[in-house]
Amino acid sequence: MSAPNKSYDPVEVEALKPEEIERMRDEALAAFAAADSLEALQEAKVAHTGGTSPLALANREIGALPPHAKADAGKRVGQARGAVNKGLAARQAELEAERDARVLVEEAVDVTLPYDRVPSGARHPLTTMMERVADVFVSMGYEIAEGPEVEAEWFNFDALNFGPDHPARQMQDTFFVEGPKGDHGESGVVLRTHTSPVQARAMLDREPPVYVVCPGRVFRTDELDATHTPVFHQIELLAVDEGLTMADLKGTLDHMVQSLFGPDMKTRLRPNYFPFTEPSAEMDMLCYVCKGESVGNPDRACRTCSSEGWIELGGCGMVNPRVLTACGVDPEKYSGFAFGFGIERMLMFRHNVEDMRDMVEGDVRFTRPFGMEI
Amino acid sequence: MRVPLSWLREYVDLPATETGRDVQAKLISAGLEVETVEPLGDGLKGPLVVGQVLTIEELEGFKKPIRFCTVDVGRANGTGEPQEIVCGARNFAVGDKVVVVLPGAVLPGGFAISARKTYGKTSHGMICSADELGMGDDGSKGIIVLPPEHEVGTDAIELLQLVDEVLDIAVTPDRGYALSLRGVARETATAYGLPLLDPALLDVPGPNEFGYPVEVSDPLGCDRFTARTVTGLDPEARSPIWLKRRLQKAGMRPISLAVDITNYVMLELGQPLHAYDRGRVQGTIGVRRAEQGEKLATLDGVVRTLDAEDLVITDDRGPIGLAGVMGGANTEIDDTEGTTTDVVIEAAHFDPITIARTARRHKLSSEASKRFERGVDPLAAAAAAQRTVDLLVLLAGGTAEAGVTEVIAPSAPRTITIPADHPDKVAGVAYGRETVVRRLQEIGCDVYGQDELIVTVPSWRPDLTDPNDLAEEVIRLEGYENLPSTLPKPPAGLGLTDRQRLHRRVGRALAGAGYVEALNYPFLGEHVFDQLSLATDDPKRRVVKLVNPLSDEEPALRTTLLPGLLAALRRNDGRGSHDLALFETGLVFHPREELSVAGRLPVDRRPTDDEITTLLDALPEQPRYAAVVLAGAREQAGWWGKGRPSDWADAVEAARLLAGEAGARLIVRGGRYGPWHPGRCAELAVVVDGTERVIGYAGELHPGVLKTLGLPARTCAMELDLDLLEEAGEGLPKAPHISTFPVATQDVALVVDKTVPHADVEAALHEGAGQLLESIRLFDVYESEQLGAGKKSLAYALRFRAADRTLTVDEASAARDAAVSLAAERTGAVLRGA
């Protein structure tokens, strides 16, 4: 603050006294601080920065001063008004922040509320399980082959080395389609009893090498109960190439169970008999739950494999050269392997499905939890 | 096939420490599926001894007859005093030998025996039945009465061979030889590397002219017939305990000595045998095909009408047996009267297919037919006949006649030639020639040659016909478990086809829209077509029918997915889920216009393309359909506000969703069809190769149909032909040009007759608006008195934009006016407020 000026105009203006200006400034700042809401601050703002506020009135008085005093007084008033505006803005920001915080609190919701406005849909786990298995092989270079569900006996049986008297051709297993003459006449057409006819079709349609998987729906005359269904799903694999061996079959199976159940999985082959493969084998996979540790260990009994350590998957083998011949593949040059297994069974032990009927009845409570992929 | 371990040990000298479980593991690895190992007499503990009934006192005053007996058990009870026992059975008398269990013993199942008070007496033990000893049915229907020759005090656990293990083997159709102890013993011997004591190695006299006369007039059906005669059998002779016990353990019921012996030899050697009462056979035994309609009463008491393909055994009167399946009642050994003293033994070999067909035709599967179907060793017939004769002589006191009849159709042993490394190539393992030859010899083959092996297969392995059969034998004996694991390298694949990807996309899209997939059986009954109100000439009424449906109510294959899907909806509704949206995609089946039979093509070569075409033409059309059904709320009510019931528009939207996935332009228009509400049914169509095709329907179902089917009110449905939808796909989507110039929006409200479909108005606006139109959207529909009866107002938002400039208001207005005027011309639309 400057000292009184000797050349000061004798006409003193009360309002422009330095003490007065300081007082006005301090009163304004005090009023702002006292304002506890944006509305109160607005009133204080009008009172202390408006056109009729003391500082504004003081500002007008500057013109009445002699020229040499104007600068000095102007500077003082300007500084005071600057301080007031700054104080106002600060308080404004403070109060706005308080308001915003309050509003956010007031707008809070119960985020645990449900939003099942449109209940979710789902694909059937048998569908997605088939896709999951098929994709293991698609990623290896196999293609997906398909065939009809109503199939010629030749594809379903003859081409696969099921002779005319093979027990599987008999009425106890196979749904036969009525012939053109109605009644029970011969049609040569059945509901396919396995996905294997697609093997024959694939070989007839393509030149070797053939690497295909064939997922699909198949039919046998079983009554529906907890462990059987007359309509079920299989996936079949066929590889025909030069020099394929049983070791290749074993490796392919191992790869599949590792892909589906984890890296430390493996399969086991046991000799068996199927007309369309020779040699033939039954394939088991290590129990993915107990990894075989439940065997002979009553304290760690395993429900998934009944403490057998292995889970039966299905049948496999080297494609019988007679099948290759019937399907136009030269058995002297090519060999092949094939396997097939039931999707229902895999779904049952992979996802603890207890009753086959749950998979066929279409109850939404069963299907929904499986979502889009499996 | 049930194989008692004790019996198996007779032919293979297994180490005494080997348990049934051990043998099971070895045999499974060799390819015999041993399903279970059943422990017999598990936990059984003596004293269990032979006793003789001394006195019987009938106790009175109880609800059932009770006997108080004293039984001599020798020194087995420590005192030699008679044992006092209370017994409820009545099939024994004073002097009978019985099996007595004494206090301190434990019977199978952990049943501990102690002296106890009962019926006012103290019973010091029990007189046992077969059941209590875990022996199975012995036909005694009460306690066991032993033959008199057994000494009192003898240990009955040993006598009755109560402790054993039985392997139960599921024999695959190719391994008929394993339906015998001999066959299983051979596999066991190989698995353990031990010698086999072959029970078929017997001294057999050669055929001569004095045997029972036999005439085989069908040598293809019967290539071998051995007949032997035994006379002077003691009709009183009964099967000894060891014979009965072995039969019981193998799962057969002892019947009479002669029958038991033939069964025993069949189990031992795998050769089915038949014993005829010689006194009841008249003249020459013959083998021929039956005459159509000829009758035969079989041993099971059924009179069977024979088919000309059935092979029969005859005597001068006619058929006396269904060859290889079951004997006839007219020459049955008379056991109950005990009058049979002379028998003729038949050991024959029949054609497997003939036997299989006969067994099937007459629904008569016997132990004999089971074996003949799978293949019996023809060279074992003479040995089996000899074994039977020996046992009849030994056990029934008979005399073997010197006559031996053998009728044999000439045949040569079969040989297969394989490269010595063929098994190596099949397995992917270098076994080497020596191993291959050794393994083949172990299964009974004769092997000659160096690089090319000439392999003569044994007579009991008719299943070995091809090189790969021999490879399998080598590989299984070397152990499947020892195969290495290698991965082949398929050529690079193309991934899923467009069609396969579409099928997955369709599923995901519907599931994403809230639909739950159901996989329903494809069977239906034709009455559903009436329930669905299909016209009498509707093509969906033409169905593929099954000869042998599971249910006579549903003999046909579906031509529509709706019946299955609606049943699933009803099931869910009945279980308390009322807000439902279900979908299914799957095949439906339409018979061809021209029906034909799928012939039996050859299998010794690739069928020609024409031959394959005849097969494919005999199959029904099997297009893939997609369908949805909806009921209840589509949107739930909740804290957010009201819910919304599912309605016809949801069903139509499902079709649009699928069309979007298929990249197809879907035509939706009012339609009428079968089960749908006539005013709320959309016909769905696409253009395929320039031709418009109706692919399905969507909307609300007819209230009458819903009532008939017991479905919730306002149930909605959509069904379409997914294959046709796919065909209508327009291929890869093309990216639009994205203009960054501002949009000019113009709204129009048009008044039209209520019957004018929005689709027509929109199409006209679209066409009339020209190139500048970016999009058009209907945002309001309403009717009011102001508009007048039979009128409705449709309000559209039109968005205009140019690729290269900002549109002026005049340009946008001009385009709008052009749109409105075309709509006016085409549909009679009037701009509101104009």
Contact A232, A129 (CB under 8 A): no
Residues of chain B with pLDDT > 90, as a percent, come to: 76
Contact with chain A for residue B484, Cβ under 8 A: yes
pLDDT at B18 over 60: yes
**Cβ contact B466–A278 (<8 Å):** yes
**Cβ contact A177–B466 (<8 Å):** no
Q: Which residues of B touch A326 (CB under 8 A)?
A: 602-607
Helix axes A246-261, A125-138, angle to 10 degrees: 130
Here the tokens at position B475 are 């590989």
pLDDT in tens, B680-724: 999 999 999 999 999 999 999 999 999 999 999 999 999 999 999
As a whole number of angstroms, the distance between CA B178 and CA B167 comes to 12
Look at the block and give the residue holding tokens 């034909």: B596
Dihedral angle sign, alpha carbons of residues A121, A124, A128, A134 = negative
**Cβ contact A364–B577 (<8 Å):** yes
Contact B383, B435 (CB under 8 A): no
**Cβ contact A363–B572 (<8 Å):** yes
Q: Which helix (H) or strand (E) holds B69?
A: strand B66-72
Q: CA separation (Å) from A314 to A235, A273, B480?
A: 10, 12, 15
pLDDT: which is higher, A53 or B742: B742
pLDDT for B262 equals 95
Q: Which helix (H) or strand (E) holds A88?
A: helix A67-106
As a whole number of angstroms, the distance between CA A274 and CA A316 comes to 8
**Which of A223, A248, A359 has the CB atom closest to B428's CB atom?**
A248
Q: Which residues of A touch B468 (CB under 8 A)?
A: 278-279, 318, 320-321
pLDDT: which is higher, B39 or A73: B39
Contact B41, B165 (CB under 8 A): no
Q: Which helix (H) or strand (E) holds B745?
A: strand B744-753
**Cβ contact B429–A247 (<8 Å):** yes
CATH architecture of B744-831: 2-Layer Sandwich (3.30)
Q: Which residues of A touch B29 (CB under 8 A)?
A: 270
Here the tokens at position B409 are 């159709």
pLDDT for B371 equals 95
Q: Which residues of B touch A143 (CB under 8 A)?
A: 493-495, 497
- Give the residue on B whose Cα is nearest the Cα of A223: B550
- Give the residue on B whose Cα is nearest the Cα of A222: B550
As a whole number of angstroms, the distance between CA B456 and CA B445 comes to 5
pLDDT by residue for chain A (374 residues), tens only, comes to 444 444 544 455 677 788 888 888 999 899 999 999 999 999 999 988 888 888 888 888 887 787 777 888 888 888 888 999 999 999 999 999 999 999 999 999 999 998 889 989 999 999 999 999 999 999 999 999 999 999 999 999 999 999 887 766 765 689 999 988 776 668 999 999 999 999 999 999 999 999 999 999 999 999 999 889 999 999 999 999 999 999 999 999 999 999 999 999 999 999 999 999 999 999 999 999 999 999 888 899 998 998 989 999 999 999 999 999 999 999 999 999 999 999 999 999 999 999 999 999 999 999 999 999 98
Q: Which residues of A touch B526 (CB under 8 A)?
A: none
B29 φ, ψ (degrees, to nearest 5): -65, -25
CA distance A99 to chain B (A): 28
**Cβ contact A247–B572 (<8 Å):** no
Q: Which residues of A touch B481 (CB under 8 A)?
A: 268-269
pLDDT: which is higher, B834 or B363: B363
Query: Strand pairing partners for B37?
Result: B167
pLDDT for A1 equals 45
**Which of A144, A170, A325 has the CB atom closest to B496's CB atom?**
A144
Can the peptide bond before residue B173 be classed as cis, meaning omega within 30 degrees of 0?
no
Quote the radius of gyration of chain B (alpha carbons, Å): 41
Q: Which fold has domain B415-481?
A: Phenylalanyl-tRNA Synthetase; Chain B, domain 1 (3.30.56)
CATH number corresponding to B498-588+623-728:
3.30.930.10
CATH number corresponding to B214-408:
3.50.40.10
As a whole number of angstroms, the distance between CA B113 and CA B105 comes to 5
Q: Which residues of B touch A142 (CB under 8 A)?
A: 490, 493
Query: Strand pairing partners for B42?
Result: none
Q: B245-248 long-range contacts, Cβ below 8 Å, gap at least 24?
A: B245/B135, B245/B160, B245/B161, B246/B4, B246/B7, B248/B135, B248/B136, B248/B137, B248/B138
CATH number (3.40.140.10, 3.30.56.10, 3.40.50.1370, 3.90.950.10) of B2-41+165-192 reads 3.30.56.10
pLDDT for B87 equals 87
CB burial readout B228-258, b (16+ within 10 A) else e: bbbeebebebebebebbbbbbbbebebbbbb
Same fold? B2-41+165-192, B415-481 = yes
Question: Going by DSSP bridges, is the β-strand pair B452-456/B523-524 parallel, antiparallel, or unpaired?
Answer: unpaired
Q: Give the DSSP letter of residue B561.
A: S
Within 8 A by CB and 6+ apart from B375, the residues are B176, B177, B352, B460, B461, B462, B463
Contact B717, B701 (CB under 8 A): yes
As a whole number of angstroms, the distance between CA B352 and CA B356 comes to 6
As a whole number of angstroms, the distance between CA A69 and CA A9 comes to 7
CA distance B616 to chain A (A): 8
Dihedral angle sign, alpha carbons of residues A156, A158, A159, A161 = positive
pLDDT for A181 equals 79
Contact B23, B5 (CB under 8 A): yes
With 0-12 / 13-18 / 19 or more C-beta atoms within 10 angstroms meaning exposed / middle / buried, residue A216 is buried
Instruction: Give B 430-449 residues with CB within 8 A of chain A.
Output: none
Q: CA separation (Å) from B569 to A107, B34, B572?
A: 42, 45, 5
User: Does residue B616 sit in helix, strand or coil?
Assistant: helix
CA distance A231 to chain B (A): 7
As a whole number of angstroms, the distance between CA B588 and CA B520 comes to 12
Q: Which helix (H) or strand (E) holds A102?
A: helix A67-106
Q: Which residues of B touch A234 (CB under 8 A)?
A: none
pLDDT for A10 equals 44
Helix axes A54-61, A38-49, angle to 10 degrees: 20
**Which of B471, B582, B606 has the CB atom closest to A362's CB atom?**
B582
pLDDT in tens, B484-542: 999 999 999 999 999 999 999 999 999 999 999 999 999 999 999 999 999 999 999 99
User: Does residue B446 sit in helix, strand or coil?
Assistant: strand
As a whole number of angstroms, the distance between CA A328 and CA B603 comes to 10
**Cβ contact B488–A251 (<8 Å):** yes
Contact B161, B247 (CB under 8 A): no
Q: Which residues of B touch A144 (CB under 8 A)?
A: 496-497, 500
Domain ranges for chain B, please list them.
2-41+165-192, 48-162, 214-408, 415-481, 498-588+623-728, 744-831
As a whole number of angstroms, the distance between CA B179 and CA B189 comes to 16
User: Does residue B143 sit in helix, strand or coil?
Assistant: strand
Range of weakest confidence among A140-154, B129-143, B194-208, B644-658: B129-143
Q: Which fold has domain B48-162?
A: OB fold (Dihydrolipoamide Acetyltransferase, E2P) (2.40.50)
- Give the residue on B whose Cα is nearest the Cα of A181: B595
pLDDT for A168 equals 67
Q: Which helix (H) or strand (E) holds A337?
A: strand A335-342
**Cβ contact A251–B549 (<8 Å):** no
Residue in A109, A111, A117 to test binding to B, most B beta-carbons within 10 Å: A117
H-type alpha helices, A178-291? 197-205, 246-261
Question: Going by DSSP bridges, is the β-strand pair B580-587/B516-517 parallel, antiparallel, or unpaired?
Answer: parallel
As a whole number of angstroms, the distance between CA B349 and CA A160 comes to 28
Mean pLDDT of B190-219: 93
CA distance A39 to chain B (A): 35
pLDDT for B338 equals 65
As a whole number of angstroms, the distance between CA B491 and CA A242 comes to 12
**Cβ contact B490–A239 (<8 Å):** yes
Q: DSSP labels for B82-121?
A: PEEEEE---S--TT-EEEEE-TT-EETTTEE---EEETTE
Within 8 A by CB and 6+ apart from B218, the residues are B287, B288, B289, B311
CA distance B264 to chain A (A): 27
pLDDT for B74 equals 85
pLDDT at B834 over 70: no
Q: Which helix (H) or strand (E) holds A214?
A: strand A210-219
pLDDT for A12 equals 59
pLDDT in tens, B58-93: 888 788 888 888 888 888 888 888 888 888 888 888
pLDDT at B337 over 70: no
Q: Which residues of B touch A145 (CB under 8 A)?
A: none
**Cβ contact A245–B425 (<8 Å):** yes
Q: Which residues of B touch A118 (CB under 8 A)?
A: 514, 634-636
Range of weakest confidence among A312-321, B43-52, B379-388, B493-502: B43-52
Residue B620, amino acid: P
**Cβ contact A245–B514 (<8 Å):** no
